[in-house]
Amino acid sequence: MTSTGRSAAAAACVLLSSAAQAGDTDLRDLAAQAVSADPAQAGPARARLRAAGPRGLEALFDAHRAALAEPTRDEAHQRLHAAVDAVAAQRHAAASRLYWYTDLEQAKARARETGRPILSLRLLGRLDEELSCANSRFFRTVLYANRQVSAALRERFVLHWSSERPAPRVTVDFGDGRRLEGTLTGNSIHYVLDAEGRPVDALPGLYGPRAFLQALAPAEAAVAGMASLAGPQREAALRRYHAGRLAELNRRWGLDTARAALAGAPSLVALANAAPPETPGPRAAAADRLAMAKSIGERPILRSVLGRSAVATVAVDPLWSSLAPLYLEILDDGGLRRLREDGVDPATQTATVVAFHNSIAEDTVRNEYLLHFRLHRWLAEGTREPLGLEALNTRVYAELFLTPRTDPWLGLVAPNVYTGLRVPTAAAN
């Protein structure tokens, strides 16, 4: 470890040790101050609760449980939700009760203390902002607000997130006071790390809640199984784990394609080896097709940016759409509540909710059988030196998500198309 890394780790340990000494009475007092109308009182109280870690967030929930259950949206209620989000480092954290570290060294210290694996989210934008990338927004509705997922993450993992880069935003000004703002491109991934921050597995993109927990379980067990291993023994165990997951995916693929009556379906190896389909214009159009739930909302704006011919009106793949019904899940009360808070009423906007459920199922099957399969294969093959988190993440965004760091414009600029506007340069970014 470098001197900088040792310093950061030491600072993290000091912070956690200091926070652990905070008494319950102190936390209750801070929870009351954190919702004060006086920013000079609320700000420091929120910061101290945040420094106390998950205990600080739980103290805030314990002190305001009744108020958080109410649907009112008055000024006091808004301050309460802002306090919860600030302490949790997650937007809409009242629905999830999840505490997220934003410093990996602190997360590693907590993982060593608790013996839990780290679940590290990499996203575009920030998880505590409204306009993070679309998939991370869906995580807050589909996964983190789900009661079973929330309980599992809170009780069995140390949570951490970091930003890959800012999420691109597009604003349409209608000229009459109306403005439409949204995000474009980008994808998110959950990495399962051991207490040293080394990747063991990763779940790319959006999954339904049940499928998400099913995919996390073997990775969680693998972290525990490798805890006492080091060097070549650990590397061999990691390769065996991913080889086993590849075999399991191939087995399930045969069962699922048979259940869906997909005679003559290609093998997973053939799908993984296939080159991405040729797409006219910017690469963002190809990246758009990788995430169904996200792309449905972004496609109208993406067409206006890239041109209608570059972006398919409907991205239908008979293979994935035929398998999607096998993975259909219905949002639980937590997810439905989040929809209502975002202005979608399941009682009156049935078509919207049904389409959202269907797109989640299609994302689940595509991500597990295509993207996760490729990722397992990378890690099963291994190298002389196993991929660290940053090296693996660089490859994920370049080869799985088609948004490499080398492209500052995330595939939104067509290099050979004249638009009548000055050509952007990376220096202007």
Name residues whose C-beta falls within 8 Å of residue 182's C-beta, 6 or more positions apart in sequence.
131, 169, 170, 297, 298, 301
Backbone angles phi, psi at 299, to 5 degrees: -60, -40
Q: Whole-angstrom Cα distance, residue 68 to residue 95?
A: 9
Please count the CA atoms within 13 angstroms of the CA of 371 that sit on its side-chain side: 32
Q: Whole-angstrom Cα distance, residue 51 to residue 101?
A: 10
What digits encode the pLDDT tens for the residues 363-416? 999 999 999 999 999 999 875 567 899 999 999 999 998 888 887 766 666 666
DSSP type of residue 177 = S
Residue identified by tokens 């080896």 is 273
Contact 15, 102 (CB under 8 A): no
Residue 5 C-alpha from the chain's centroid = 26
Can you give the pLDDT at residue 12? 45
What digits encode the pLDDT tens for the residues 162-208? 999 888 777 777 788 887 776 666 789 999 999 999 999 999 999 99
Q: Helix or strand or coil: residue 264?
A: coil
- pTM for the model stands at 0.85
Question: Which ranges of 21-93 does DSSP label H, i.e. alpha helix?
Answer: 24-33, 39-51, 54-69, 75-88
Give bridge partners of residue 192 from the DSSP assignment: 119, 201
Tell me what the mean pLDDT of segment 28-42 comes to: 96
Q: Helix or strand or coil: residue 9?
A: helix
